[in-house]
């Protein structure tokens, strides 16, 4: 079935890679058969979703309540999906690890949600949103999916407004929009700096309504620890009740994972502390392919790290870049306070390098530019890991009041965390891991390679290619949950029933979960799970972060297995299995992050091109910009789990509508 692939082993660019020890210089993966999406209809792109909706089989309304669907996660994707499936009449069971479905991390999204409403008449259209998303994703997303996303975007705004989401409005009573994250049209709807919160509460309220109606059964403080696959189909989950520690089995006709991204593999990220990869990683172990794991997004405007104890990073909405100007001192090692650095000794480097887009270049470009100036020794603040985001001009131009109205809550948040006043001294910002474009591979129906397992929202590899545009995560989560999945899952369920669930498969999954917990509790070593997580995160940030090289990735691939081995021999988890045990929860998640980290590095090593958020230092043009290699890499890397190492399946990407071109924001 698979031939050995030596690509990762062939190109040694650095003398430091000696090939000694471990798997360095060896072969990290094998290549299997290509994979493709078989669900997107042929024909004009604007008709494909209509066609698919019509060709999807319908479930007899009387049968819907007999069909049981499990939805894991209650963020924008999971919350909206569970609510909508409940409304349609399915028998839904929903799980979240928080104490209420309202707390999922979608709630922290600040900036806004894109939609091709063209309410401004500024030249926006479904086609333009589609075009911008394909291009912004650096030509590594599927055209059919992206077009559908742009189509559905307009319905999301209608749905949210009808639910009472209090979007910003103008005095005429109509919705306000703004331009966001490098878009040249004003298509971003927002609710102050709390758009994610307001959209999530809309979905949460719809979900609670279904819980009251009895169509959705909600289990809070439950964590999915394994997927039940019976006769080749996803038929349920094993979960742990995080209060009692009880291991429970829940069976269903289909399973939906809406468990978010895996940015916490870096330990420090803008994700919530509880965000983890366990649900999708366990599904991957059970046969779901993992798409493009190396595509991670580093957000350019986060508050810099202040010390070793740091537990997470906080994002400042990138809307700040609309009025703030990014700069560093011209001279390296200039430690004068910002106010003492005269204008001519400041380098507004984004405006200088990218005159057309200036401070509004896409996230990947802004982040790497910040890293570059810091690498040159021109960074500001503790450790030189920061750049200024300066509002002095905006305050002069618009007045302090106007700036406060627009950004007041963000400025306040900044002051709260840093103790510095951004009205009188420039903010310090630095890039941080924010979003993962990679995730479980899905077809046009959002179904993974395990029949009956659907994956939505950030958890799938989805529609953003190698780089997500600002304000598009909320759009995708809600498109998947409210509009796409409820249609496509019906087609799968209508083709059932799929028979009894094999008791042996359930027992096996349950035993696997119990033995992992027992093992973690029995090691009784000398280091906490968090300390390993921190070390793993540091290693991933240094070797598989904003800039990756063959050498750095090989180092990571040498170090990760060593560290993982040490973890399993030396981790200390206190307490018992049958109680609320937060140390145990963390240890289980860290164990899966180790495995995922390895796959991310293999993916990053094999993709020798640069694209979007994946920057390989070996692949850049004369100006230091990311250089794609369309001839060799215009594909999705879908990784199959294999005991002897991962197996790569390539999904070729064809661009019929948007002509592939090198991105340029100059």
Partner 1 sequence: MSERAKGMNLTLKVWRQNGPQDKGRMVTYRVEDVSPDMSFLEMLDVLNERLILEGDDPIAFDHDCREGICGMCGMVINGVAHGEQVATTTCQLHMRHFEDNAVITIEPWRAAPFPVVKDLVVDRSAFDRIIQAGGFISVPAGSAPDAHSVPVKKVDADAAFDAATCIGCGACVAACPNGSASLFTAAKITHLSLLPQGQPERDSRAKAMVEQMDAEGFGGCTNTGECTAVCPKGIPLDTIARMNRDYLRASK
209 or 519: whose CB is closer to partner 1?
Answer: 209
Size of the site for partner 1 (CB under 8 A): 84
58 or 243: whose CB is closer to partner 1?
Answer: 243
Q: Which residues of 271-300 are buried (b: 16+ CB within 10 A; e: fewer)?
A: bbebbbbbbbbbbbebbbbbbbbbbbbbbb
The single residue among 37, 46, 87, 630 that binds partner 1, judged by CB under 8 A, is 87
Under the criterion CB under 8 A, does residue 548 sit at the interface with partner 1? Answer: no
Distance CA 164, CA 155 (A): 14
- In the region spanning residues 105 to 144, those forming contacts with partner 1, defined by CB under 8 A, are 105, 107-108, 117, 119
Query: Phi-psi bin for 255: left (phi > 0), alpha (psi -120 to 50), beta?
Result: beta
Under the criterion CB under 8 A, does residue 312 sit at the interface with partner 1? Answer: yes
DSSP 22-61: TTTTS---EE--------S--S-GGGHHHHHHHHSPPPPH
528 or 620: whose CB is closer to partner 1?
Answer: 528
Q: Which of 590, 573, 665, 551 is nearest to 25 (CA)?
A: 551
Under the criterion CB under 8 A, does residue 322 sit at the interface with partner 1? Answer: no
CB 453 within 8 A of CB 445: no
Give the nearest distance from C-beta 595 to partner 1 in angstroms.
Answer: 23
Which token pair is 546? 């904003």
Under the criterion CB under 8 A, does residue 204 sit at the interface with partner 1? Answer: yes
Give the nearest distance from C-beta 431 to partner 1 in angstroms.
Answer: 17
SS3 letters across 579-626:
CCCHHHHHHHHHHHHHHHHHHHHHHHHHCCCCECCECECCCECCCCCE
The single residue among 38, 121, 171, 503 that binds partner 1, judged by CB under 8 A, is 171
Q: Is 346 one of the catalytic residues?
A: no
Distance CA 537, CA 266 (A): 4
Under the criterion CB under 8 A, does residue 192 sit at the interface with partner 1? Answer: yes
Under the criterion CB under 8 A, does residue 338 sit at the interface with partner 1? Answer: no
192 or 346: whose CB is closer to partner 1?
Answer: 192
Question: Per-residue string for binding with partner 1, 587-626, x by CB under 8 A?
Answer: ----------------------------------------
Give the nearest distance from C-beta 583 to partner 1 in angstroms.
Answer: 5
18 or 570: whose CB is closer to partner 1?
Answer: 570
Distance CA 53, CA 139 (A): 26
The single residue among 11, 13, 55, 310 that binds partner 1, judged by CB under 8 A, is 310
Under the criterion CB under 8 A, does residue 62 sit at the interface with partner 1? Answer: no
- Which helix (H) or strand (E) is 407 found in, with range? helix 400-418
Which token pair is 117? 């409403």
Under the criterion CB under 8 A, does residue 11 sit at the interface with partner 1? Answer: no
Give the nearest distance from C-beta 541 to partner 1 in angstroms.
Answer: 19
10 or 308: whose CB is closer to partner 1?
Answer: 308
Phi, psi for 187 (deg, rounded to 5): -120, 10
Identify which range of 31-39, 61-69, 161-169, 495-503 contacts partner 1 by CB under 8 A. 161-169
Q: Which of 344, 323, 328, 327 is nearest to 397 (CA)?
A: 323
The single residue among 163, 184, 372, 620 that binds partner 1, judged by CB under 8 A, is 163
271 or 549: whose CB is closer to partner 1?
Answer: 271
Whole-number Cα distances in Å, 529 to 76, 267, 630, 641, 642: 29, 11, 41, 25, 26
The single residue among 247, 573, 602, 626 that binds partner 1, judged by CB under 8 A, is 573
Under the criterion CB under 8 A, does residue 211 sit at the interface with partner 1? Answer: yes
Give the nearest distance from C-beta 174 to partner 1 in angstroms.
Answer: 6
- In the region spanning residues 213 to 242, those forming contacts with partner 1, defined by CB under 8 A, are 218, 220
Give the nearest distance from C-beta 272 to partner 1 in angstroms.
Answer: 4
- In the region spanning residues 387 to 426, those forming contacts with partner 1, defined by CB under 8 A, are 413, 416-420
Other residues' Cβ atoms within 10 Å of the Cβ of residue 70:
27
Identify which range of 37-45, 335-343, 384-392, 571-579 contacts partner 1 by CB under 8 A. 571-579
SS3 letters across 115-176:
CCCCCCCCCCCHHHHHHHHHHHCCCCCCHHHHHHHHHHHHHHHHHHHHHCCCCCECCCCCEC
Give the nearest distance from C-beta 191 to partner 1 in angstroms.
Answer: 6
The single residue among 334, 530, 566, 629 that binds partner 1, judged by CB under 8 A, is 530
Percent helix, percent strand, percent coil in the chain, to nearest 5: 40, 15, 40
The single residue among 38, 311, 522, 644 that binds partner 1, judged by CB under 8 A, is 311
Other residues' Cβ atoms within 10 Å of the Cβ of residue 537:
21
Other residues' Cβ atoms within 10 Å of the Cβ of residue 336:
12
Under the criterion CB under 8 A, does residue 98 sit at the interface with partner 1? Answer: yes
CB 436 within 8 A of CB 296: yes
Identify which range of 82-90, 249-257, 361-369, 600-608 contacts partner 1 by CB under 8 A. 82-90
Give the nearest distance from C-beta 386 to partner 1 in angstroms.
Answer: 13
The single residue among 1, 15, 62, 174 that binds partner 1, judged by CB under 8 A, is 174
The single residue among 18, 55, 100, 664 that binds partner 1, judged by CB under 8 A, is 100
Half-sphere exposure of 193 (CA within 13 A, CB side): 16
Distance of CA 501 to the CA centre of its chain: 32
- In the region spanning residues 466 to 525, those forming contacts with partner 1, defined by CB under 8 A, are 482-483, 486
Q: Coil, helix or strand for 316?
A: coil
Identify which range of 202-210, 366-374, 495-503, 615-623 contacts partner 1 by CB under 8 A. 202-210
The single residue among 22, 127, 131, 175 that binds partner 1, judged by CB under 8 A, is 175
Which token pair is 240? 């742990």
- In the region spanning residues 247 to 306, those forming contacts with partner 1, defined by CB under 8 A, are 272-274, 306
308 or 344: whose CB is closer to partner 1?
Answer: 308
Under the criterion CB under 8 A, does residue 158 sit at the interface with partner 1? Answer: yes
Crossing angle of the two packed helices 48-55 and 143-163, in degrees rounded to 10 = 80
Under the criterion CB under 8 A, does residue 314 sit at the interface with partner 1? Answer: yes
| Locus of tokens 């530019």 | 369
The single residue among 5, 63, 528, 620 that binds partner 1, judged by CB under 8 A, is 528
55 or 306: whose CB is closer to partner 1?
Answer: 306
The single residue among 55, 511, 515, 582 that binds partner 1, judged by CB under 8 A, is 582
95 or 482: whose CB is closer to partner 1?
Answer: 482
- 153 bridge partner residues: none
Q: Which of 477, 481, 614, 465 is nearest to 132 (CA)?
A: 465
Under the criterion CB under 8 A, does residue 170 sit at the interface with partner 1? Answer: yes
Under the criterion CB under 8 A, does residue 78 sit at the interface with partner 1? Answer: no
Of 48, 192, 363, 554, catalytic: 363
Distance CA 160, CA 39 (A): 28
Under the criterion CB under 8 A, does residue 161 sit at the interface with partner 1? Answer: yes
Give the catalytic positions in this structure.
363
């Amino acid at each position: 079935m698979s031939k050995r692939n030596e690509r990762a082993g062939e190109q040694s660019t650095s003398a430091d890679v000696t090939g000694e020890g471990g798997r360095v210089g060896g072969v990290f993966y094998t290549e299997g058969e290509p994979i493709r999406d078989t669900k997107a209809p042929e024909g004009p792109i604007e008709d494909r979703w209509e066609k698919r909706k019509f060709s999807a089989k319908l479930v007899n309304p009387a049968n819907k309540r007999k069909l049981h669907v499990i939805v894991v996660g209650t963020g924008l994707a999971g919350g909206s999906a569970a609510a909508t499936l409940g409304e349609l009449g399915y028998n839904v069971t929903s799980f979240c690890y928080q104490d209420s479905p309202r707390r999922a991390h979608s709630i922290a999204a600040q900036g806004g949600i894109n939609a091709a409403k063209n309410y401004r008449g500024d030249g926006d259209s479904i086609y333009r949103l589609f075009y911008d998303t394909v291009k912004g994703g650096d030509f590594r997303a599927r055209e059919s999916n992206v077009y559908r996303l742009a189509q559905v975007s307009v319905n999301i705004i209608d749905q949210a407004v009808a639910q009472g989401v209090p979007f910003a409005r103008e005095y005429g009573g109509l919705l306000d929009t703004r331009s966001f994250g490098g878009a040249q049209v004003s298509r971003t709807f927002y609710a102050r700096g709390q758009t994610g919160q307001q959209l999530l509460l809309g979905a949460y309220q719809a979900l609670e309504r279904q819980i009251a109606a009895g169509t959705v059964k909600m289990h809070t403080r439950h964590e999915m620890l394994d997927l039940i696959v019976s006769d080749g189909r996803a038929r349920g989950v094993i979960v742990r009740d995080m209060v009692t520690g009880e291991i429970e089995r829940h069976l269903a006709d289909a399973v939906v994972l809406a468990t978010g991204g895996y940015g916490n593999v870096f330990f420090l990220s803008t994700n919530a502390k509880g965000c983890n990869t366990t649900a999708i990683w366990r599904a991957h172990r059970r046969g779901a392919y993992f798409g493009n794991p190396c595509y991670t997004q580093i957000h350019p405007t986060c508050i810099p790290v202040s010390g070793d104890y740091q537990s997470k990073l906080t994002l400042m909405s990138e809307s700040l870049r609309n009025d703030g100007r990014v700069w560093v001192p011209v001279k390296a090692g200039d430690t004068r306070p910002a106010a003492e650095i005269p204008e001519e000794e400041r380098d507004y480097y984004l405006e200088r390098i990218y005159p057309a887009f200036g401070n509004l270049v896409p996230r990947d470009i802004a982040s790497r530019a910040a890293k570059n100036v810091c690498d040159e020794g021109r960074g500001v603040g503790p450790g030189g890991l920061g750049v200024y985001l300066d509002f002095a001009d905006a305050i002069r131009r618009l007045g302090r009041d106007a700036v406060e109205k627009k950004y007041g809550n963000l400025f306040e948040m900044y002051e709260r965390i840093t103790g510095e006043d951004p009205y009188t001294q420039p903010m310090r910002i630095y890039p941080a891991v924010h979003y993962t474009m990679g995730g479980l591979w899905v077809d046009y129906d959002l179904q993974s390679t395990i029949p009956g397992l659907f994956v939505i929202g950030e958890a799938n590899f989805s529609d953003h290619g190698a780089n997500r545009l600002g304000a598009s995560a909320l759009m995708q989560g809600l498109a998947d949950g409210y509009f796409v999945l409820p249609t496509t899952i019906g087609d799968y369920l209508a083709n059932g029933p799929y028979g009894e669930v094999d008791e042996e498969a359930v027992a096996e999954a349950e035993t696997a979960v119990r033995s992992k917990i027992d093992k973690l509790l029995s090691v009784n070593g000398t280091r906490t799970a968090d300390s390993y997580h921190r070390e793993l995160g540091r290693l991933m940030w240094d070797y598989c972060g904003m800039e990756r090289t063959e050498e750095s990735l090989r180092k990571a691939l040498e170090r990760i297995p060593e560290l993982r081995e040490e973890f399993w021999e030396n981790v200390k988890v206190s307490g018992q299995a049958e109680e609320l045990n937060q140390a145990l929860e963390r240890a289980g998640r860290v164990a899966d992050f180790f495995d995922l980290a390895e796959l991310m590095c293999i993916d990053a090593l094999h993709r020798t091109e640069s694209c979007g958020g994946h920057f390989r230092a070996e692949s850049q043009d004369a100006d230091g910009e990311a250089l794609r290699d369309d001839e060799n890499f215009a594909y999705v890397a879908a990784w199959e789990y294999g005991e002897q190492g991962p197996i790569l399946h390539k999904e070729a990407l064809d661009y019929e509508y948007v002509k592939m071109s090198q991105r340029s924001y100059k």
